[in-house]
Structure 1
Amino acid sequence: MCDDHSIEDNNRLLGDVSRRGFGVLTGMAGLAMMLPAPADALTIAGRDVSIATPDGHADAYFVAPSSGRHPGVLVWPDIMGLRPAFRQMADRLAQSGYAVLVVNQFYRSTKAPFLAPGESFDQPDVRAKIMPFTKALSPDGTTRDAIAFIGFLDAQPQVDRARGLGTTGYCMGGPMVFRTAAAVPGRIRAGATFHGGGLVTDAADSPHLLIPRMKAKYLIAIAANDDARAPTDKDTLRTSFAAAKLPAEIEVYAGTMHGWCPPDSRVYDAQAADRAWGRMLALFGPALA
Structure 2
Amino acid sequence: MCDDDIHQGLIHDPTVSRRAFGLMTVMAAGMGGVAHAASPVVEKDVEIKTADGVADAALFYPEGKGSWAAVVVWPDVISLRPVFREMGRRLAAEGYVVLVPNLYYRVKKAPVVEGSFNFALPEDRAKLTPMRSTVTPEGTDRDAVSYIAFLDTLPQTNRKKKVGTQGYCMGGPLAFRTAAIVSTRVGAVASFHGGGLVTDGPTSPHLTLPASKAEYLVCVADNDDKQDPTVKDKLKAALDAAKRPAKVEVYEGAAHGWTVKGSQVYNEPAAEKAWAELLALYKRALV
Residue 208 of structure 1 is matched in structure 2 by: 206
Contact 1:223 1:260 in 2 (8 A): yes
Amino acid across the alignment from 2:255: M
Q: Deviations over 1:218-244 (max 9, x none)?
A: 100000000011101111111111111
SS of the residue corresponding to residue 240 of structure 1 reads helix
Higher relative contact order (CA 8 A, sep 6+): 1
Tell me the CA shift for residue 26 of structure 1: 5.7
Q: Relative to structure 1, is the Cα distance of residues 285 and 75 closer, same or farther in structure 2, using a 3 angstrom cutoff?
A: same
Residue 42 of structure 2 is matched in structure 1 by: 45
Tell me the CA shift for residue 27 of structure 1: 2.3
Contact 1:44 1:91 in 2 (8 A): yes
| Correspondence 1:126-205 to 2 at 5 A | 126-205=124-203
Residue 57 of structure 2 is matched in structure 1 by: 60
**Equivalent-residue separation in structure 1 for 2:42 and 2:56 (angstroms):** 17
Q: Deviations over 1:229-272 (max 9, x none)?
A: 11011111111111111110100000011111111222100010
Give 1:27's match in structure 2, choosing from 10, 13, 25.
13
| Correspondence 1:30-109 to 2 at 5 A | 30=16, 43-67=40-64, 68-109=66-107
**Equivalent-residue separation in structure 1 for 2:56 and 2:202 (angstroms):** 31
**Equivalent-residue separation in structure 2 for 1:107 and 1:61 (angstroms):** 12
Q: Relative to structure 1, is the Cα distance of residues 26 and 79 closer, same or farther in structure 2, using a 3 angstrom cutoff?
A: farther
Structure 1 unmatched ranges of 5 or more: 15-22, 33-40
Tell me the CA shift for residue 108 of structure 1: 0.6
Residue 278 of structure 1 is matched in structure 2 by: 276
Give 2:4's match in structure 1, choosing from 5, 9, 12.
9
Tell me the CA shift for residue 135 of structure 1: 1.5
Amino acid across the alignment from 2:158: D
**Equivalent-residue separation in structure 2 for 1:175 and 1:102 (angstroms):** 15
Tell me the CA shift for residue 64 of structure 1: 0.1
**Equivalent-residue separation in structure 1 for 2:149 and 2:61 (angstroms):** 16
Residue 35 of structure 1 is matched in structure 2 by: none
Tell me the CA shift for residue 152 of structure 1: 0.7
**Equivalent-residue separation in structure 1 for 2:176 and 2:5 (angstroms):** 17
Tell me the CA shift for residue 115 of structure 1: 1.9
SS of the residue corresponding to residue 115 of structure 2 reads coil
Tell me the CA shift for residue 138 of structure 1: 1.1
Contact 1:27 1:118 in 2 (8 A): yes
Question: What's the Cα RMSD here?
Answer: 1.7
SS of the residue corresponding to residue 166 of structure 1 reads strand
**Equivalent-residue separation in structure 2 for 1:204 and 1:142 (angstroms):** 15
Amino acid across the alignment from 2:230: T
Q: Deviations over 1:146-200 (max 9, x none)?
A: 0001111111111100000000000000000111000000000000000000000
Residue 35 of structure 2 is matched in structure 1 by: none
Residue 224 of structure 2 is matched in structure 1 by: 226
**Equivalent-residue separation in structure 1 for 2:110 and 2:255 (angstroms):** 25
How many percent of aligned residue pairs carry the same amino acid?
A: 48
Residue 236 of structure 2 is matched in structure 1 by: 238
Tell me the CA shift for residue 124 of structure 1: 2.4
